[in-house]
Structure 1
Amino acid sequence: MTALLEVSDVHVTFDGFRAINGLSLAINEPELRAVIGPNGAGKTTFMDIVTGKTRPDSGRVIWGERSQSLLAMSESQIARAGIGRKFQKPTVFEEQSVRENLAMALKARRGVFSVLAWRAGPQDAARIAELASEIGLAERLAHRAGDLSHGQKQWLEIGMLLAQDPRLLLVDEPAAGMTPAEREHTTRILKSAARTRAVVVIEHDMEFVRRLDCRVTVLHEGRVLAEGSLDHVTRDARVIDVYLGR
């Protein structure tokens, strides 16, 4: 199977500090992948590279069946190619309703000129209802987004990204600040999304990673230290030494 995303021997240096040091990994489609590691391991920089925010000093980042180089694309071109990113802090339009937030995300798919004449039709309304059901906010469509709980705002932002139909969804620490019930629901959302696309989750919460029940990549000092099931990587003496034992 050809990988959807292939990162090969990537290096990034910031003011003499080597943040990424020969990073190589591949993500398939569909797939759910957790990326873990100590602070400074390169997890955020990895996402910055894939989304075009950071340009590496060397290496290759290849995307899709046509083997396009993401390094030759702008951030907006990368987003249009099908890569969506969710940051740790939810960013929703708080004064708008849940329905309006999802509608704006659907609208954003259509490009600058078509947006100007866009009106929500029956098909869009059905898609909004489907997304709201998928993220567990079907009963909250008319509610102001700012009135949602922290966890519900996280779900809404995931729904807004799903509205853009990405092939790869990058999610940064989704379980942070959530109640146990919210974490359980977030697990279901991410596992459901990963049935039809690639979902990469950056996370520190080992209990949450275990719930995801997926392949795990451990980063350390800007490269892959170990990869496999959670049980496999947590038995690795190097992972215990640099991460779990701390």
Structure 2
Amino acid sequence: MSMLLEVSGVSVSFDGFKAINNLSFNIGSSELRAIIGPNGAGKTTFMDIVTGKTRPDEGRVIWGEKSVSLLKMSEAQIAQSGVGRKFQKPTVFEDQTVQENLLVSLKNPRGWLSVLTYRPTAEDLGRVDALAEEIGLNDQLTRLAGELSHGQKQWLEIGMLLAQEPRLLLVDEPAAGMTVTERQHTTDILVEAAKTRAVVVVEHDMEFVRRLNCKVTVLHEGSVLAEGSLDHVTANQDVIDVYLGR
């Protein structure tokens, strides 16, 4: 499997506090990875660095087959090159239908003129139907997004990101506030998405991580403490001491 993202020797400090400390991390082009760790371990800062929101003090962040540096790109350029990010709180257009939310997210020319004159083609509508099927909202296409449950809004936002055809999807605590059934469906969506792209899930819910059945990276004080299967990392005494024992 070819490497899609390679983070090497990255550090960043805020007011003297080292949020990320000599962090190295890589992920393949179609791989599912969970990142766990205590609060303040650097999970959000890691995502901020990959998406260009935060610039590290040192280190490299290399992207894609051509090994380009993400550190030389703006946030918009990074997004356009195929990095998508989902925050904890779902951000959908509440007064638009599910179908309209997905249509507006499709990867199409984004000049101001094309946005003003945009009319969905049969191909666009077909793509939206396929996305709605993938996220389990195919029977909700005409509903306003504001009427959806919390879990359904999360799925819609994942669908909106998938509509942009990212090569890497960063997902922040998708299971928070969900019912057991919703969490199971979210697992299915992410496992399916990772068949054709890299998906990184930051999560605290260990049952959710177990169901993802993927390699786990444990962060602590801004660097990797352990890596491997969930059973492997949860048996690690250092991980028990700093995270699981709490």
- Which TM-score bucket, shorter chain as reference? over 0.9
Q: What corresponds to 1:226 in structure 2?
A: 226
Residue type at the aligned position of 1:66? K
Q: What corresponds to 1:6 in structure 2?
A: 6
Q: Which runs of 4+ in 1 moved over 6 A?
A: none
CA distance 1:245–1:109, change in 2 (3 Å): farther
Q: Deviations over 1:27-62 (max 9, x none)?
A: 101000000000000000000000000000000000
Q: Deviations over 1:194-231 (max 9, x none)?
A: 00000000000000000000000000000000000000
Taking the aligned partners of 2:180 and 2:70, their CA distance within structure 1 comes to: 37
Taking the aligned partners of 1:226 and 1:116, their CA distance within structure 2 comes to: 49
Q: Deviations over 1:160-211 (max 9, x none)?
A: 0000000000000000000000000000000000000000000000000000
Taking the aligned partners of 1:9 and 1:235, their CA distance within structure 2 comes to: 26
Taking the aligned partners of 1:37 and 1:44, their CA distance within structure 2 comes to: 11
Aligned partner of residue 139 in structure 1, secondary structure: coil
Cα deviation for residue 13 of structure 1 reads 0.2
Taking the aligned partners of 2:109 and 2:67, their CA distance within structure 1 comes to: 24
Segments of structure 1 that go 5 or more residues without pairing to the other structure are none
Q: Deviations over 1:111-132 (max 9, x none)?
A: 2243333210100000000000
Q: What corresponds to 1:148 in structure 2?
A: 148
State the number of aligned residues.
245
1:116 and 2:116 matched: yes
Taking the aligned partners of 1:69 and 1:29, their CA distance within structure 2 comes to: 16
Identical aligned pairs, as a percentage? Answer: 72
Segments of structure 2 that go 5 or more residues without pairing to the other structure are none
* Aligned positions of 1:62-101 closer than 5 A: 62-101=62-101
Residue type at the aligned position of 2:167? R
Q: What corresponds to 2:128 in structure 1?
A: 128
Taking the aligned partners of 2:23 and 2:72, their CA distance within structure 1 comes to: 19
| TM-score, length-scaled by structure 2 | 0.98
* Aligned positions of 1:1-246 closer than 5 A: 1-106=1-106, 109-112=108-111, 113-246=113-246
Residue type at the aligned position of 2:110? G
| TM-score, length-scaled by structure 1 | 0.98
Taking the aligned partners of 1:223 and 1:37, their CA distance within structure 2 comes to: 10
Taking the aligned partners of 1:22 and 1:149, their CA distance within structure 2 comes to: 40
Q: Deviations over 1:147-166 (max 9, x none)?
A: 00000000000000000000
Residue type at the aligned position of 1:30? S
Taking the aligned partners of 1:27 and 1:111, their CA distance within structure 2 comes to: 29
Residue type at the aligned position of 1:7? V
